[in-house]
Structure 1
Amino acid sequence: MGSISELSSDDEEFNQAIVASLESHAASEHRNTKSAQEVLLSLASQIDSNQRCRFNINRSSVLDGALRGFKRLSYNPMYQMCIKFSDDSGMDEEAVDLGGPRREFLRLLMEALILSPMFEGRNGKLNLALDSSVGDNSFVKPVLEDIADTDLYQKVKQLSECISFDDLIYATEPLQDYLANAGCLRPLKCIEDRDLLVEDILMFQVVHRVCGAFERFREGLKTLGVLDAIRMYPDSFRPLICHEPSPLTADLVDQFFHIRLSAVGSNKRRAEECVVAFWRDYLQDVEGKYCCLI
């Protein structure tokens, strides 16, 4: 009986260890599912609201004003930003920043950055702009659509679609100077060399050419620990940094249309209201059918 009791005690300790391990794992998973908003709010607690950094901003040149503010010797990322707008005549718009001017400034700054020379590419596929530094980016796999230069895109596309060795040689002729400057020249011996050449071009144009800009971007993200937070919660931050097309839903399509109904109480109005309901039923049916196919 003593041995059985000891065995039961061992089993109990083992079960407790399993439960503790599962609880620890569940807690770990819970920690790793924080939203980006939760993480950023936590990081924002480092900012001292009693200390201010003044930004003098003109709406016609928001990016220029932001750069002046960030470069000022008195700027400290741990101080709260205080935004003071002026109109085109240099008149003060608001002397005290209670949050509204700061939010508007950040919104205008994001819009200005998208249109600035810091980025290149099509909508939804913007990339940091030119820099000649090269780094270790073997984990990156760019695609043809990542090339922002329209002329280069067409030439590389033609190159990627070659089906014979003669076509391949012909397609590379307009690219000789580019390939030499990019360090992508390689001896072409067969049609299979096409894919390797296209990969070299994509890596240079999309990755290596802008590596220095990415390094500076990464250094900037280290402010207040943002980079470490992104590494800890990559899934939460991915939608903020990497473009992902939103799924087309029935509600989204419904919002594309503005319904103009006839006068209230008329027979036409009652018929139109029925049509609207049928239309929305149709959208939901299409969405449901599409989701089932997926």
Structure 2
Amino acid sequence: MCVMFSDDFGKVDLYAKVKKVSECTSLDELQQATEPLTDYLANAGCLRPLKGIEDKDLLVEEILMFQVVHRVSGAFERFKEGMKTLGVLDAIRMHPVAFRPLMCHEPSPLTADVLENLFVIRLSAVGSNRRRAEECVVPFWRDYLMDIEEQEGPLTLGGILAFATGANEIPPLGLSPRPSLDFLHDLPPGQGRHLPTANTCINCLKLPLVNNYEDFKDSMEFAFRNTQGFGQE
């Protein structure tokens, strides 16, 4: 289970501290790991004397309950009161399956067509040499997406999206800025394989300019297979 934390520590910092607590193997380690969390534990009502390593699991459970349940209970109750307007809450309770698509996001499967339409292609001026080179590569991109969709293997369309944006599925509110395709025009010739690059801050994937599909496919697969990603498993 992945829980996102938010408080004065910041999401990542608090998650790392609690993870360190959960991995302790001795009482001394546990006491040292909880020391930076003293103020937080006091505010959460989880501060207690630690008498043995067996207290670790109870402490982590209490932190999770505070973050996931107690911390948001007031806002959740107000939300329920609002949903009672015009009988909406009663309708949800009577027909939970019918309301599920409205209340819970279920990502649609990625397809080659979905991924192709997701990216805006940034082409150079019509009639320019750059434009002609780009128009040769765009069909390679489309064919490559179709190949990935049809084949079975470690490479997936979600992996391509993660390479370009950091997300392996399209979020409920979409991606902002909208993902785009650009091209690597200024690479020095003859210096090894030209590989795609990505800037996940602006959701931009830059494609290598090659003369045939096999070279394009080899470059893309080499980059995707040798990219560590964002800690996703």
Alignment TM-score, normalising by the size of structure 2: 0.50
Is the aligned partner of 1:226 residue 2:81? no
Counterparts of 1:293 and 1:240 in 2: how far apart (Å)?
Answer: 32
Q: Is the 8 A contact 2:30 2:53 kept in 1?
A: yes
Where does 1:252-291 land on structure 2 (aligned, <5 Å)? 252-254=114-116, 255-260=118-123, 263=126, 269=132, 275-289=137-151
Q: Is the 8 A contact 1:144 1:157 kept in 2?
A: no
Corresponding residue SS for 2:151: helix
Where does 1:62-77 land on structure 2 (aligned, <5 Å)? none
Distance 1:188 1:246, change over 3 A: farther
Equivalent residue number for residue 99 of structure 2 = 237
| The one of 211, 215, 220 aligned to 2:77 | 215
Equivalent residue number for residue 97 of structure 1 = none
Equivalent residue number for residue 32 of structure 2 = 170
For residue 263 of structure 1, report the CA deviation from its aligned partner: 4.5
For residue 287 of structure 1, report the CA deviation from its aligned partner: 2.5
Counterparts of 2:82 and 2:65 in 1: how far apart (Å)?
Answer: 24
Distance 1:162 1:210, change over 3 A: same
For residue 193 of structure 1, report the CA deviation from its aligned partner: 2.8
Using CA pairs under 8 Å that are at least 6 residues apart, name the structure with larger relative contact order, 1 or 2. 1
Is the aligned partner of 1:249 residue 2:107? no
Equivalent residue number for residue 146 of structure 1 = 4
Counterparts of 1:190 and 1:252 in 2: how far apart (Å)?
Answer: 53
Out of 180-189 and 212-221, give the one that drifted further.
180-189
For residue 153 of structure 1, report the CA deviation from its aligned partner: 3.4
Equivalent residue number for residue 201 of structure 1 = 63
Query: Which segments of 5 or more consecutive residues in structure 2 lack a partner in the other structure?
Result: 157-233
Counterparts of 2:99 and 2:2 in 1: how far apart (Å)?
Answer: 25
Where does 1:127-138 land on structure 2 (aligned, <5 Å)? none
Counterparts of 2:57 and 2:63 in 1: how far apart (Å)?
Answer: 10
Counterparts of 2:148 and 2:66 in 1: how far apart (Å)?
Answer: 43
Number of matched residues?
Answer: 149
Distance 1:177 1:243, change over 3 A: same
Counterparts of 1:221 and 1:183 in 2: how far apart (Å)?
Answer: 30
Equivalent residue number for residue 198 of structure 2 = none
Equivalent residue number for residue 179 of structure 1 = 41
Where does 1:41-52 land on structure 2 (aligned, <5 Å)? none
Query: Which segments of 5 or more consecutive residues in structure 1 lack a partner in the other structure?
Result: 1-142
Distance 1:183 1:263, change over 3 A: closer
Counterparts of 2:95 and 2:146 in 1: how far apart (Å)?
Answer: 34
Equivalent residue number for residue 86 of structure 1 = none
Distance 1:173 1:262, change over 3 A: closer
Counterparts of 1:199 and 1:168 in 2: how far apart (Å)?
Answer: 15
Counterpart residue type for residue 185 of structure 1 = L
Counterpart residue type for residue 30 of structure 2 = L
Counterparts of 1:247 and 1:191 in 2: how far apart (Å)?
Answer: 44
Where does 1:90-101 land on structure 2 (aligned, <5 Å)? none
Counterparts of 2:125 and 2:20 in 1: how far apart (Å)?
Answer: 54
Distance 1:203 1:256, change over 3 A: same
Corresponding residue SS for 1:194: helix
Counterparts of 1:186 and 1:263 in 2: how far apart (Å)?
Answer: 70
For residue 158 of structure 1, report the CA deviation from its aligned partner: 2.6
For residue 152 of structure 1, report the CA deviation from its aligned partner: 3.5
